[in-house]
Amino acid sequence: MLYCFADSDAHKNPELAARAKSFVLKHFMGISQEPEFLQLPKDSVIDLIRCDDLYVPHEDDVLATVVRWLHHDFEQRRGEFWEMLQHIRQLYLSPQCSDQYLLACINAFMDYSGAENDPRPSEHLQALPGYTNEASSARYTARKSCGFEDIIICAGGLGDVEARSALYGTECFHLRTSKWGRIPKLPYSVASAGLAFINNDLFLCGGYIGRENGTVTSRTLRYNSALAGWIDVAPMQTVHDDLGIAAIGDHLYVVSGHDTAWDTLAAVERYDVATNQWTYAASLPTPLENSAVLSFDGQLLTFGGCASDGALIYDLAYCYDPVADVWKELPRMPTARYYASACLGSDGWIYVIGALIPVI
């Protein structure tokens, strides 16, 4: 295979190797069926399957390829198999394949360690050299080439105006086709939650469950875009309703809101996707709820908001520096408002749109 030839010590050609690797990644499904692929050494196979840009319809196909590579020379390769399994994105396997993955891990561990008839499979998995839990490894990231497209998602919210009850439903707008569709429903009804994207996955945080003025929650959901399903991740440390939310890099920020007692919050929490943990960031200088929040140029911006369910309405604007963990006040808006939306325009200006304003 040209990829191995160009990358070999005897014929080192980095440019040719990079082009050949790019071609293999793009045409992996066809190339992996060729007899030459089964001859590849372990390190070359790992170099391919650990890439985010590996083009596969589903992660199940990667696992099937690795198993096929193993069985081509089982006696020689079974001791190396555990290392290859570390590069399978387990979170994105189908339930059936995920069970097969766990079994393969157990078998590989037994081959590696010589363990026999030990009934504790979870300990087998964790004992694999190089093992890390899925939330703290690259296996928690979806491959970028798995058929993603740009969509706008609406999740939960209020339904019947009279009943004022929260919704389970979700809808998505496909920008390419200009049509509305649906994704799987939420596992519970929720309104006034926060939504944000990180690495092609959607996070839903907080809000209230049930009817209006229902139970305010700290629950956090992640929409697994490769498996098309919602999963629970670590809950926030504080319950938040009518919160602001935005993502910066691999971190999610939930800004203020109010708690179950309708006390307005200044608390700001940061979620780390890699560790699946929430920590507190510097609090807002002013407790706010229903403020407009967005990220811009690596910083967090918040506009307007209210306190005491609209009894106090603000024209405040703040900027948060995540490196220094510091908030600073920006020039105030011309109009005090809450329930607004904020966005970055194509002209480089930030727009704060709509909202409720004080009655004069």
pLDDT tens profile 302-315 = 999 999 877 899 99
Task: Decide: helix, strand or coil at residue 241.
Answer: strand
Cα 271 to its chain centre, rounded Å, is: 11
The pLDDT value given to residue 308: 82
**Domain 2-140, what architecture?**
Alpha Horseshoe (1.25)
The pLDDT value given to residue 348: 87
Which are the contacts of 168, defined by CB distance < 8 A and separation ≥ 6?
A: 156, 185, 186, 187, 188, 189
- CB distance 284 to 317 below 8 Å: no
- Is this prediction's pTM over 0.75? no
The CA–CA distances, whole Å, from 360 to 60, 113, 318, 336, 340 equal 61, 76, 25, 12, 18
DSSP 61-74: HHHHHHHHHHHHTH
The pLDDT value given to residue 46: 93
Distance CA 309, CA 307 (A): 6
According to CATH, where is 2.120.10.80 located in the chain? 151-353
Element (H or E) spanning 239, and its range? none
Distance CA 360, CA 357 (A): 9
Residues in a beta bridge with 220: 205, 233
- CB distance 233 to 252 below 8 Å: no
Amino acid at 256: S
- Going by C-alpha positions, the residue among 319, 359, 314, 318 that lies closest to residue 335 is 314
- Going by their DSSP bridges, the two strands 190-191 and 208-209 should be labelled as antiparallel
The pLDDT value given to residue 129: 40
Distance CA 322, CA 180 (A): 36
Residues in a beta bridge with 281: 268
Structure tokens at 211: 């009817």
The pLDDT value given to residue 335: 93
The pLDDT value given to residue 1: 55
pLDDT tens profile 75-103 = 888 778 778 888 888 777 776 676 666 67
Backbone angles phi, psi at 353, to 5 degrees: -125, 140
Residue 109 exposed, middle or buried by CB count within 10 Å (0-12, 13-18, 19+)? buried
The CA–CA distances, whole Å, from 95 to 143, 244, 258, 290 equal 18, 34, 38, 39
- Going by C-alpha positions, the residue among 222, 225, 245, 154 that lies closest to residue 191 is 154
Instruction: Give me the CATH code for the 151-353 domain, please.
Output: 2.120.10.80
The CA–CA distances, whole Å, from 345 to 158, 348, 349, 353 equal 28, 5, 5, 12
The pLDDT profile of the chain, 360 residues, written as one tens digit per residue, is 555 544 554 456 678 778 888 888 988 989 999 999 999 999 999 999 989 889 887 888 898 898 889 888 888 887 787 788 888 887 777 766 766 666 766 666 565 554 444 444 444 444 444 444 444 445 566 676 655 667 888 999 887 665 567 888 899 898 878 889 888 899 999 999 999 998 778 999 999 987 666 689 999 999 876 667 898 999 999 999 999 999 999 899 999 999 999 899 999 999 999 889 999 999 999 999 999 999 999 999 999 999 987 789 999 999 999 999 999 999 999 999 999 999 999 888 999 998 877 765
According to CATH, where is 1.25.40.420 located in the chain? 2-140
The pLDDT value given to residue 53: 86
